[in-house]
Structure 1
Amino acid sequence: MNFESGFTGDGLTADRPRLRWSRRRIALIGAGLLLLVAAIAYWKSGSGSPAPVDPDMMVPRVTVIVPGASDVATVVNAVGTIAARREMPVGVVGEGGEVSAVLVEAGDWVTAGQVLARVERSVQVEQRASLAASVRVAEADARLAQNELDRAQALVSRGFISKATLDQKTAARDAAVARVNVARAQLGEQQARIGRLDIRAPAAGLVLTRAVEKGQVVTPGSGVLFRMAQGGEMELLARVGEADLARLSVGIPATVTPVGGNRSYEGHVWQIASVVDPQSRQGDARILLSYHKDLRPGGFASARIVSGAGQAPLLPESAIQNDGKGSYVYIVNGNNVVERRDVRVGQVSAAGVPVTEGLTGREKVVILAGGFLNPGQKVQPELQKAADAAGTATPGGPRG
């Protein structure tokens, strides 16, 4: 018996017609499915051609505004140092000596002529007493000489004394009166010397610094003992660029903010430098400020000076683009095509960014999606009111 030939003939050979039928059935089913898909596509298209694409779906939408012209303040920003507007150094004006008392502290308000410190004066007081006594002696001599002259005048009419004697009495009286005047002048001088031992405020104001203590020996060469701000007035010595300096004038308002503070103080420019530093190309604009405890001389502060006002288009920050050439915006022309427009902008504020050059205010300016556009690109502009655009701060993407 041949087992190998018997297996081959009865098993594999018998299954071949069945395998061919299975393959043919799968092929027929696949062809039917393909025909069904093609029929559905043909039915949807209506004619067998591809469905048309709406061209507007391919054009991006952008938000634009027509900004018009708004009242815009011209602002100059500067930084500088706070100082007393009129600083008054106070020192020894007399002969000096040992300080017996210091009567004020830094930060005190004083009046004109108020005593700030006293110098020991015991010797000078005794000298004044001696001179006062000399005045009394001279006055007594003058009274005696006057009495003698009066008696001589009564006797000369009776012939008891000569005219020459009367002239001597008159001269003696005049000399006695002169000695009284000399003694009084010497006493007044001594009183003035004692008065100069009081270190006094030359004017009303604020004591800024104190550099003297009780027991200290001071002389006219001791330097400044007190520094005062006349009237307590302060100023900011603001460093301003040469171009900005030309736009400033005396009397224009300014706002000063000390470094580290969260409060600003109002003032005005009271003096503008007549020269410009040839190295830094800057000059000083002196801003007058009323006294406040937070305005400390020597402190650093920033200033915002309003140098004028005018009309300019006002845009949100999202509309302004920047590159190596400078600032620019995108505008949409009458054919809804994007154009680049180079501009010059002013000081950024909460209201927006003023455009000082490059726009008239009648253009359609892209305020959203500008970062995704290119010049010459076709767009669909959506007009937004300027009042609504004021709050736009950041650029957005294309809107569909």
Structure 2
Amino acid sequence: MNYESNFKSETIDSIQSDYDLSGQTEHPSRLKWIIAATVLIVALLAALYVFLTSGDAAREGAGDDRSQAPSVTVIAPGRTEMTGSLVATGTLAARREMPVGVVGEGGRVVSVPVEQGQWVKAGQVLASIDRSVQSQQARSAEAQIEVATADADLAQANLDRSLQLVERGFVSKAQVDQLTATRDAARARVAVTRAQYNELLARNARLNIIAPAAGLLLERNVEPGQTVSAGSGTLFRIAKGGELELNAQVGDSELVRLSVGRPAKVQPVGSDDVFEGQIWQIEPFIDERTRQGTVRIALPYSPELRPGGFATAEISSGVVNAPMLPESAILSDQEGSFVYIVDKDNKARRRRVETGLVTDIGIAIASGLDGTEQVVLRAGGFLSDGESVSPQLQQK
């Protein structure tokens, strides 16, 4: 039993020993070749994948550059003949306002026969001042004329008699000369007293406050019983001929587009009525604080036009032929107004422009465009100079 056991044990150990030696010599060699082949195949597949994907990415990247260019709407404005206008505001006033006050010595007002809002004639009495004392002075001056006239008649009679006696020698030449001088002095006194009388009449006439010209009475600042004098200020205001105007305030940059005779439509605040007028004067100075000048628009009389009221005027500024753009296409910064145009390479280019007339259909471009360009219609504020765009032409 021991022999058989020993034999079996040695046999088994011999077999295991043979198996281990074979595994250590043959199996590692095959595994290394399998691993190397696998790594090589994976490397080749990775290289092929990288090559293919890099080419596609490059092509897709080029396509993306084109597809990512922003789409913009452009317009070729051409040139349009248009009638421009500008809107201005101002105050209604009398075209020729005449302030009327006391021109004489004044006194107590006894009557005021007119009311504001009435039409008055040239020379019409607006107010009368008490003249009881002045009337007595006029009567005294008139009596002095009669006295002086009587003295002059007597002096003339004495001279006539003396001339008849000179030829007979009863009156000397010297006496005749003296009588002639007396007659001349008497006549002079008549002229003096008559002039004094006329002066009193003129002074008394000035006690009546009269209208210097026909027109519409705008203000009445006096009542019966009131004492007035030359220092009382303006008692009445008259719009000569009833003519009115709008003193419209216009910026200095817009004044150059206006001229005398331009038509205007005036609408008072709070009214639906529109009145036709025209510029009759552009004042030659500009307010240094507001940088505005005054345009005076003549208007016919109408009860709805009240001096002192506020009104809006739409003034025609003439006809021009120029490119016309909507407000959305025109941008501005500290350097002025500009637009973006699209060149032949589909690049957005900044172009400086000068704006002109403003109309209901857009803004005229005075300079900077000839009308053939493709102008970005909107969203120009999001573009930069030289940026690639995809233009979409819109018909005018």
TM range (shorter): 0.5 to 0.7
Residue in structure 2 matched with residue 150 of structure 1 by the alignment? 160
Q: Report if aligned partners of 2:83, 2:359 keep a CA contact under 8 Å in 1.
A: no
Residue in structure 2 matched with residue 184 of structure 1 by the alignment? 194
Q: Report if aligned partners of 1:250, 1:272 keep a CA contact under 8 Å in 2.
A: no
The one-letter code of the counterpart of 1:78 is A
Higher percent of residues as helix = 2
Paired residue for 1:174, among 166, 184, 199?
184
1:288 Cα deviation after fit: 3.2
The one-letter code of the counterpart of 1:216 is Q
**Any idea what the Cα deviations from partners look like across 1:131-160, whole Å, max 9, x if unmatched?**
112211221221122112111111111222
Deviates more, 1:246-255 or 1:68-77: 246-255
- Report the 3-state secondary structure (helix = DSSP H, G, I; strand = E; otherwise coil) of the residue aligned with 2:122: coil
Residue in structure 2 matched with residue 124 of structure 1 by the alignment? 134
Residue in structure 2 matched with residue 267 of structure 1 by the alignment? 278
- Report the 3-state secondary structure (helix = DSSP H, G, I; strand = E; otherwise coil) of the residue aligned with 2:359: coil
The alpha-carbon distance between structure 1 residues 257 and 148, as it changes in their structure 2 partners (threshold 3 A), is: same
The one-letter code of the counterpart of 2:190 is V
Q: Report if aligned partners of 1:330, 1:338 keep a CA contact under 8 Å in 2.
A: no
Output aligned runs, 1:211-230, within 5 Å.
Answer: 211-230=221-240
- Report the 3-state secondary structure (helix = DSSP H, G, I; strand = E; otherwise coil) of the residue aligned with 2:234: coil
State whether structure 2 residue 91 is matched by structure 1 residue 78: no
**Any idea what the Cα deviations from partners look like across 1:191-224, whole Å, max 9, x if unmatched?**
0111110101222322211101122111111111
Residue in structure 2 matched with residue 202 of structure 1 by the alignment? 212
Paired residue for 1:160, among 166, 170, 173?
170
Residue in structure 2 matched with residue 362 of structure 1 by the alignment? 372
The one-letter code of the counterpart of 1:159 is G
1:109 Cα deviation after fit: 2.4
- Report the 3-state secondary structure (helix = DSSP H, G, I; strand = E; otherwise coil) of the residue aligned with 2:296: strand
Separation in structure 2 between the aligned mates of residue 302 and residue 228 of structure 1, nearest angstrom: 24
Q: Report if aligned partners of 2:126, 2:208 keep a CA contact under 8 Å in 1.
A: yes
Separation in structure 2 between the aligned mates of residue 353 and residue 287 of structure 1, nearest angstrom: 25
Q: Quick check: which has more Rg, 1 or 2?
A: 2
Q: Report if aligned partners of 1:68, 1:361 keep a CA contact under 8 Å in 2.
A: yes
State whether structure 2 residue 119 is matched by structure 1 residue 105: no
1:341 Cα deviation after fit: 7.2
Separation in structure 2 between the aligned mates of residue 107 and residue 140 of structure 1, nearest angstrom: 53
Q: Report if aligned partners of 1:332, 1:366 keep a CA contact under 8 Å in 2.
A: yes
1:184 Cα deviation after fit: 0.6
Separation in structure 1 between the aligned mates of residue 195 and residue 361 of structure 2, nearest angstrom: 73
**Any idea what the Cα deviations from partners look like across 1:299-343, whole Å, max 9, x if unmatched?**
2222333344321233567x74879899888888889x7968766
Count of residues paired in the alignment: 321
Q: Report if aligned partners of 2:72, 2:389 keep a CA contact under 8 Å in 1.
A: no
Separation in structure 1 between the aligned mates of residue 256 and residue 366 of structure 2, nearest angstrom: 18
Q: Report if aligned partners of 1:345, 1:356 keep a CA contact under 8 Å in 2.
A: yes
Output aligned runs, 1:1-400, within 5 Å.
Answer: 67-262=77-272, 263-277=274-288, 279-314=289-324, 320=329, 346=356, 348-356=358-366, 359-363=369-373, 384=395, 386=396
* Stretches of structure 2 lacking an aligned partner (at least 5 in a row): 1-70
The alpha-carbon distance between structure 1 residues 323 and 123, as it changes in their structure 2 partners (threshold 3 A), is: closer
Q: Report if aligned partners of 1:257, 1:265 keep a CA contact under 8 Å in 2.
A: no
TM-score (norm 1): 0.67
The alpha-carbon distance between structure 1 residues 316 and 301, as it changes in their structure 2 partners (threshold 3 A), is: same
The alpha-carbon distance between structure 1 residues 240 and 159, as it changes in their structure 2 partners (threshold 3 A), is: same
- Report the 3-state secondary structure (helix = DSSP H, G, I; strand = E; otherwise coil) of the residue aligned with 1:161: coil
Separation in structure 2 between the aligned mates of residue 280 and residue 330 of structure 1, nearest angstrom: 32
The alpha-carbon distance between structure 1 residues 243 and 346, as it changes in their structure 2 partners (threshold 3 A), is: closer
The one-letter code of the counterpart of 1:127 is Q
The one-letter code of the counterpart of 2:83 is A
1:81 Cα deviation after fit: 1.9
Separation in structure 2 between the aligned mates of residue 311 and residue 83 of structure 1, nearest angstrom: 36
RMSD (CA atoms): 3.6
TM-score (norm 2): 0.68
**Any idea what the Cα deviations from partners look like across 1:320-377, whole Å, max 9, x if unmatched?**
4879899888888889x7968766655553444434455433356788x989x99866
The alpha-carbon distance between structure 1 residues 194 and 242, as it changes in their structure 2 partners (threshold 3 A), is: same
* Stretches of structure 1 lacking an aligned partner (at least 5 in a row): 1-60, 387-400
Q: Report if aligned partners of 1:328, 1:340 keep a CA contact under 8 Å in 2.
A: no
Separation in structure 1 between the aligned mates of residue 133 and residue 220 of structure 2, nearest angstrom: 27
Residue in structure 1 matched with residue 24 of structure 2 by the alignment? none
Deviates more, 1:88-97 or 1:241-250: 241-250
Separation in structure 2 between the aligned mates of residue 155 and residue 148 of structure 1, nearest angstrom: 11
- Report the 3-state secondary structure (helix = DSSP H, G, I; strand = E; otherwise coil) of the residue aligned with 1:296: coil
- Report the 3-state secondary structure (helix = DSSP H, G, I; strand = E; otherwise coil) of the residue aligned with 1:288: strand
Separation in structure 2 between the aligned mates of residue 135 and residue 323 of structure 1, nearest angstrom: 85
Q: Report if aligned partners of 2:277, 2:297 keep a CA contact under 8 Å in 1.
A: no
